[in-house]
Amino acid sequence: DAGVTQTPRHEVAEKGQTIILKCEPVSGHNDLFWYRQTKIQGLELLSYFRSKSLMEDGGAFKDRFKAEMLNSSFSTLKIQPTEPKDSAVYLCASSFNWGPSYEQYFGPGTRLTVL
Amino acid sequence: GQQVQQSPASLVLQEGENAELQCNFSTSLNSMQWFYQRPGGSLVSLFYNPSGTKHSGRLTSTTVIKERRSSLHISSSQTTDSGTYLCALEANSGTYQRFGTGTKLQVVP
């Protein structure tokens, strides 16, 4: 079985650009998460979908960050416009929440550098 | 406030020594998961352990719900164990997992 797939693995953007990150969850999983990870803040939740419905939009990240789940096997995270402080690793994770286990599986991440 | 607290924040071990990493939480627990992250790498699940003790090779995870804590024990540490260890809990309210700030472990030869 394929794990969580993320593309691209690396992205370099100029300040003010729009970038779109992509994620494919584990087949059959119905929860999908987008996180941002920095050395200072650690892991921060950006968005959380359950069965394609947005459950959590990350509060402080709402204005320039938008995650969408077009179908159960694909999600995007758009950052518009990008700022240098957005430089971080963006992680996507999925899980299956209908059983007793709530184990999360993470993708390899996208390292974003904003100049 | 911070629902999940990890300690210590960092740790340096001599190869062969044992380590005990702690995760304390302030809310009722539904599940607990431990992850390992190599520098520059993604998160790899070590244990999904809602309660009790689980073993995997040199690693042991123990979650005591009544005491609101979970621990990760690493025995006979190796240099390849170096990295960051994160715990994440799912609260009884049934929402998503919340992560601790991690323990950065360095094992030196």
CB contact at 8 A, A23 and A5: yes
- Which tokens go with B92? 């009884």
| Closest CB from A56, A105, A109 relative to B96 | A56
How near does any CA of chain A get to the CA of B76, in Å? 27
Q: How far apart are CA B73 and CA B76, in angstroms?
A: 10
CA nearest neighbour of A69 among A114, A30, A19: A30
| Closest CB from B33, B41, B95 relative to A104 | B33
Per cent of chain A over pLDDT 90 is: 63
- Which tokens go with A62? 């709402």
pLDDT for A32-81, tens place per residue? 999 999 988 888 889 989 888 888 777 666 789 999 998 999 999 999 99
